[in-house]
Structure 1
Amino acid sequence: MSASHRRPPRFAVGCALAALSAVLASPAWADPAPSFPALLARLDQTPASQEAEALSEAAEARVRQARVRPNPTLGLDASNVFGSGPYRGLDNAETTLSFSQDLELWGRRTARINAARADAGTATLQRDLAVLNAAGRLAQVYAEAEAAQRRAVLAEDSLSLTIADARAALILVEQGREPLLRGIQGESEAAAARASRDEAVAERDAAFARLTAVAMLPSPVTGIDASLLDRSPAAAFAGSADPTTVRVAQAERTAAERRIDVERIRTRPDITASVGVRRYEMEDATALTFGVSMPLPLFDRNRGNIEAAQADFRAADARLASARQEAQADRAAAQARLAASVSRVSAADAGVGSAEEAYRLSRIGFDAGRISQLELRVTRAALISARTTAVDARLARVRAEIELARLDGRAPFQGAE
C-alpha cells in the first residue's frame, strides 16, 4: 500500500469527526414577526404615511383659508388739531371714522379658491402615491428578510450535507478505501461551509433589523413564519386607466394652470370701497363719507409672475407627457417581468427536485464506493445552487409584483390568495 493510501490512526479520524460535529451549533430563533397583511394594516403608522397625510391636511386647510374674505380696515383720521391760531387744541377738529373693504372684483376670490383646490387635489394624490410607495417598500423589505432567512437555512443545510459527506469520506479513509487527502479536503469544505453559514446568518440578522425599522415594530424581528415569497401574485387588476404617478402629474398640471389665472387677475386693479362718519367740532355737525380707491398699474403689471406661471405650466405639461410614456413602458415591462418570474419559479422548483434526486443517488453511490468524492461534491454544489436559485426566483417574483402593483395603484398582493 502506498503512503498516500496508508490508514490514518483512529485517534486522528475521531478528532476530525468531533471537529465536524462542533460546527453544527447555531442559535435558536424566537417568536416570528407579524404577517405581511398585518404589517400592511399598520402602514398608516409609518413616518412616510404620516408625513403625506399631514401635507394633505395642510393643503385642505389652505383651501379653507382661501375661501375667507380679507379683513376690513377700520381707520380714524383727525385733522385741524393742535395747530396755531384758531386750530389750537381740538375745538376746530375734523374727525373721520372710516370702514374700508377690499371688494375682490374680477373673480379674484374664485381664482384663489380654485388654485387652492387644485393644490389640495395634488396633495391628496401625492399622499396616495406615498402610501403605495410605503407599501411597496414594506413588501420588498419583508421579502428580502424572508429570503435572507431562507438563505440562512439553506446555508445550515449545506453545512450539514458537507459535514455528512466529510464524515463519510473520513470513514472511507479509516477503512483504507480513500487517501488521507480526501479527509483533509472534507474538513476544509466543512470549514468553508461554516463560514458561509455565519455570513448568511449575519445577512439574515441585518435584514431582520431593516424590517423592524421599516415596519416600526416594538420588538426586533427574529423570524418569519407567514411567507410572502410563496404567495402567488394578484390576478389582472382592473384599476384606473392611468396609474397614480400619471394622475399626480395631471393634478400638478391643473394646479399650474390655475395659478396662471390667479396671476392674470392680479393685473386688474384691486378696488377698495370705504364708508365713514366725519365729525365737525366747530359746527357741531356730523356727515357721512364715501370713497373708492384703486392702485394705478403704471409700473407693476405682474408680467413677470404671469410668465413664470406659464413656464411652470409648460414644465408640468412636459412632466405629464413623460409620465404617461414612462407608465406605459413600465407597465408592459412589469407584466413581462412578472410572467417571466412566474415561469422562473416553476423551473427553479423543478430544478430543486432534480438536484435533490441527483444528490440522493450520488450519496448512495458514494457510500457503495461506485462514485468518487469529486462527483459527490459536484452534485452537492448543484443542489445548493438549485435551492438558492429557487429563493432568488421567488424574490424576483415579489419585486415584479411590487412594481406592477404600484402601477395599478394598489398594495402588493392585494386580492391574491
Structure 2
Amino acid sequence: MKCPRGVRRNAGTHTRSFVPGLIALAIALPTLSWAQASTPPGAPQSIPGAASAGSAPTLTLEQAIDLALNRHPDLSVARREVEAALGATQQAGVLPNPSLSMSVEDTRKTTRTTAYQLSQLIELGGKRSSRVKAAQLMEDLNRAQVQGRVVQIRASVRTGFWDLLAAQSRMDLARQSEELAQAAVDAASKRVAAGKVSPVEETRARLALSGVGLETAQAQQDLVAAKSRLGAMLGIAPEQLPQPAGELRAPDQAPTPSELTRYMTTAPETVQSELEVKRRDALVEVERSRAVPDVTVGVGMQRNNEMGRNQTLLGVSIPLPVFDRNQGNLREAIARADQARDDARSRQMRLMTDVQVAAGQLETARRQVFLAEEKLLPDASRTYEAATQGFALGKFGFLDVLDAQRTLFQARSQHLKALSDAQKAAADLEALLGASVASQVGASNGTAPINTSSATQK
C-alpha cells in the first residue's frame, strides 16, 4: 500500500533533517548494555565501561574485601585490644610475689638482734581462678568484637563497591541521555531553519538538554564521591582506584522469618551481648571472693648476739574484716551484671527490628527490580521505539519523541536505583546477621548469585 503523497513528502523532509542524528541514536539505544525488555528477571547485566582483557587493571569485590581487611585501621585497633586482653589473662593467673624483710634491734654489736623473714601471701576464696575466668571472658569478648568488625567492614566494602558500580552506570546513562538530547537539539535547529516548526520547539529541546546536563553533573559528583568512599575503606587514593569488575544485579531473597530468628542467635550483636553478661557475672564472683580475707605466712631466722644463738621465726597474718568487707564493690558488680542483662535484651530487640527492616527493604527493592525488568523497561522501550518510528513517518510530533525518550531514561534510572537499594539492604542484612549467614541467604529463589569474577563476562 502506498502512503499519501503528503506523508511521503513529510517523511522525506524529516529523514533528511532528523534521521542522521536522533533516529540513528534511537536505533542504537535499545542495544545498550542495560536491562532490556528481552532480558529475563535476574539475568546478568553488563556494566558500561567495564575493563576488557588486556586493558587497565580491575578490582573484584573479593579483592576489595581482602584489601580492606588487611588495611582498615579500625580492624587493627580491635586486634590490638585482643593482644591487650591476652596480657590481662596472663597477669590474672600470676601468683603474688613473696616478700623479704629484715629488722635490726639495738645498734650495739654485742647486744644486737638481727632478723630475716620471708613472707608469702596466700589468696583464699578462689580469687585467682575468678580473676582468670573474668579475664578469659574479656578475651573472648574482644575476639567476638573483632569478628563483628570484620563482618561490618565486609558489608561496608560490599555497599561501597556496588555504589561505585551504580554510580558508573548512572554516569554512562546520563552521558547517553545527553548525547541524545544534543542530537534532538541539532535536529530541531535544522527544522526551525527550514521553517518547518516554530522556534519554541528548539527552545524546548534546549531546555531538555540543560536538564540532562544538570543530571550529568550530579552523576559525575556522585561518581567522585563513590570512588572516595570506597578508596578510603581500601586505603587507596580515588584516582588510583582500579576499575571495579562486576555485574550490578538484584541479590538473592532474604531468609524467612523463622530463618531470621535462628540466624539472630549467632549474630555478632547477640554473641557479644551474651559474652558481656557472662563477663559481668564473672566480675561479681571476683568481688565476692575479695570479701574473703587472705592469709600471709612467714618464716625466718633471728640472730641474737647477746645470747649467741640463732632463733627460728614463724608468723601468720590475717586481716580482720570488721569495716571493709568489699560490700560496696560487690554491690556495684551485681548492679553492672543486671545492667548487662538489660542491655542484652535491649540490643536483641533492636537487632530484631533492624533485621526485619533490612529484610523488608531487600524484598521491596527486589520487587521493584523485577517489576522494572518485566513491565516498566519493556513498556518504555516499546513506547520510545514507536514514537521514534512514528516521528520519522510524520505520525507523531517532536515533543512526543522527547517525552518517550525522557520516560525511557527515567525507567532505567529507577531500575538502577532499585538495584542499588537492594544491594545496600543485602549488605545491611549481612552486617546484622553475620557473614556466615549471608552466604546462605536466598538459596531457594532460583536466581544466580552475584558475579564479580570478571568484568568481561557476557
Coarse TM-score class (shorter-chain normalised) = 0.7 to 0.9
Aligned to 1:391: 416
Shift in CA distance, 131/152, structure 1 to aligned 2, threshold 3 Å: same
Shift in CA distance, 222/370, structure 1 to aligned 2, threshold 3 Å: farther
Q: Distance in 2 between matches of 1:90 and 1:404?
A: 83
Q: Which of the residues 323, 326, 351 maps onto 2:347? A: 323
Aligned to 1:289: 313
Judge which range, 214-223 or 293-302, deviates more.
214-223
**Structure 2 contact 228–237 (Cα < 8 Å) conserved:** no
Q: CA deviation at 1:28?
A: 12
The answer to whether structure 1 residue 155 and structure 2 residue 180 are counterparts is no
Aligned to 2:327: 303
Q: Distance in 2 between matches of 1:284 and 1:63?
A: 50
Q: Which of the residues 422, 432, 438 maps onto 1:407? A: 432
The answer to whether structure 1 residue 168 and structure 2 residue 187 are counterparts is yes
Aligned to 2:446: none
Q: Could you state the TM-score of these two structures normalised by the residue count of structure 1?
A: 0.85
Aligned to 1:94: 113
Q: Distance in 2 between matches of 1:40 and 1:99?
A: 59
Structure with larger RCO (C-alpha < 8 A, sep 6+): 2
Q: Distance in 2 between matches of 1:219 and 1:170?
A: 41
Aligned to 1:279: 303
Shift in CA distance, 339/196, structure 1 to aligned 2, threshold 3 Å: closer
Q: Which of the residues 287, 301, 304 maps onto 1:263? A: 287
Q: Could you state the TM-score of these two structures normalised by the residue count of structure 2?
A: 0.78
Aligned to 2:277: 253
Q: State percent identity of aligned pairs.
A: 25
Shift in CA distance, 157/247, structure 1 to aligned 2, threshold 3 Å: same
Q: Which runs of 5+ in 2 are unaligned?
A: 1-16, 22-48, 441-448, 451-458
- Structure 1, residues 346-402: CA drift from partner, whole Å, max 9, x if none? 112232232122222212222333222322222122112111111111111112211
**Structure 1 contact 276–288 (Cα < 8 Å) conserved:** yes
**Structure 1 contact 122–248 (Cα < 8 Å) conserved:** yes
Q: Distance in 2 between matches of 1:274 and 1:117?
A: 32
Shift in CA distance, 186/349, structure 1 to aligned 2, threshold 3 Å: same
Q: Distance in 2 between matches of 1:188 and 1:28?
A: 32
**Total equivalences in the alignment:** 386
| Corresponding letter in the other structure for 1:75 | S
RMSD: 2.6
Shift in CA distance, 118/412, structure 1 to aligned 2, threshold 3 Å: closer
Shift in CA distance, 222/251, structure 1 to aligned 2, threshold 3 Å: closer
Q: Distance in 1 between matches of 2:244 and 2:132?
A: 52
Aligned to 1:10: none
Aligned to 2:140: 121
Q: Distance in 2 between matches of 1:257 and 1:340?
A: 43
Aligned 1:145-224 pairs, distance under 5 A: 145-217=164-236, 220-221=239-240, 224=243
Q: Which of the residues 333, 344, 351 maps onto 2:368? A: 344
The answer to whether structure 1 residue 76 and structure 2 residue 102 are counterparts is yes
- Structure 1, residues 138-187: CA drift from partner, whole Å, max 9, x if none? 11222222222111111111101211222222232233221122112222
| Corresponding letter in the other structure for 1:232 | P
Q: CA deviation at 1:33?
A: 4.8
Q: CA deviation at 1:96?
A: 1.4
Judge which range, 385-394 or 332-341, deviates more.
332-341
**Structure 1 contact 355–383 (Cα < 8 Å) conserved:** yes
Aligned to 1:358: 383
| Corresponding letter in the other structure for 1:175 | A
Judge which range, 235-244 or 115-124, deviates more.
235-244
**Structure 1 contact 32–221 (Cα < 8 Å) conserved:** no
